[in-house]
Amino acid sequence: MMISSVVSRVLVLLLAVCCMQSFALDKPFNKHKPLLASNSHNSSSTPVVDFFVVRTWIGDGDWMKAMLNSISQFVPRKMYRNIIVILCNKEEEKDFQPYLPQLQTLGASFHPVTDPPFPISGYAKGYTSEAYWKMRAHEFSDADYFIHIDTNVVFTRSVTLEDFVDGEKVNLKAIPYGVMPPSYLQSVKNVSEDILGFPCKYETTTAMVFTYPRELHISLQNYLESLHKRPLLKIMQKEFVLTPIGAYSLLGSSLMKFMPDRWIHAPKHVSNNKLASHY
């Protein structure tokens, strides 16, 4: 009788574990505790926005200084909460400190991470690593929206929140793949579709800055892990290294597919990249 009771309890426990695993696949959720605590805000109707920057090349210290200076000059401080800078080499934090005396004023903070191994080298490795951390932005912040900006991009005019978010919809620069050159279809569209498992109609990587809801990052990671039956890192170590692709293509196509009511075509001054410029 005691053995029967123990067996029953084991069966109940196994059933509970199966249900939890099913929930994890079906329901988007943050599996990781945010590394940044929430700050208080004046109004619950005002979205919390964080800039998200991934630095993978030690030579872009001056670029990043210029990028942060442009934020200081053109972005109202009340528009965003933090500037999260991911450093893929923990030893580099001391190298960047002399560049950034205005860190506290801007709300910028360094987050050194251990870059995972990828079976490629050179530019392709840095590109894949950058995409990996961008897709994990939700683990570093509980913001409502992330404005992704690369270190070699600077703002060139004053901006407001409406340039990035219109109500609950993000401004997305989306170009039909039908008007893109064949080489672009092979290197971006086809690879995106192979990884995502659904057709992609628009190109979403040619903007200078990219705004996405935090929950999109969570949902995309869960979706990919469910689709490919392995963790995000394992997916990227296999699929991404064949033809390196940026996170913006996957995030943009996923936003259109899974959150069609959370985006609009960016107005002309945004879609024409009049807000920022590359070095």
- For domain 47-278, say whether CATH 3.90.550.10 is its number: yes
Which pLDDT score, from 0 to 100, does residue 254 have? Answer: 97
Task: Judge contact between 128 and 195, C-beta under 8 A.
Answer: no
Which H helix or E strand runs over 132? helix 122-135
Length of the chain: 279
Q: The whole model's pTM is what?
A: 0.81
Going by C-alpha positions, the residue among 250, 214, 167, 247 that lies closest to residue 49 is 214
Q: Which residue has the tokens 């950034």?
A: 100
Residue 147 confidence (pLDDT) = 98
Rounded CA separation 214/170 (Å): 12
d(CA 87, CA 55): 5
The pLDDT, as a whole number, for residue 169 is 96
The domains of the chain are located at 47-278
Beta bridge partners of 171: 264
* Residue-level pLDDT at 101: 62
Grouping H, G, I as helix, E, B as strand and the rest as coil, residue 88 is: coil
Could you tell me how many helices (H) and strands (E) the chain has, helices first? 12, 12
Q: CA-to-CA distance for 275 and 242, rounded, in angstroms? A: 33
Q: What is the pLDDT of residue 70?
A: 94
How much is the pLDDT for 15?
Answer: 35
The count of other CB atoms within 10 Å of the CB of residue 182 is: 8
In this prediction, residue 257 carries a pLDDT of 96
Pair 167, 148: CB distance under 8 Å: no
Per residue of the chain (279 residues), what is the pLDDT tens digit? 444 443 344 333 333 333 333 222 223 333 333 333 333 333 457 899 999 999 867 677 778 888 999 999 999 999 999 999 998 876 666 777 666 666 778 898 888 888 888 887 777 777 888 899 999 999 999 999 999 999 889 999 999 999 999 999 999 999 999 898 887 777 788 889 999 999 999 999 988 899 999 999 999 999 999 999 999 999 988 877 666 678 999 999 999 999 999 999 988 777 677 788 876
Tokens (6 digits) for 218: 């969570």
At residue 25, the pLDDT reads 27
Q: What is the per-residue pLDDT for 40?
A: 35
What pLDDT score does 226 carry?
A: 97
d(CA 26, CA 269): 38
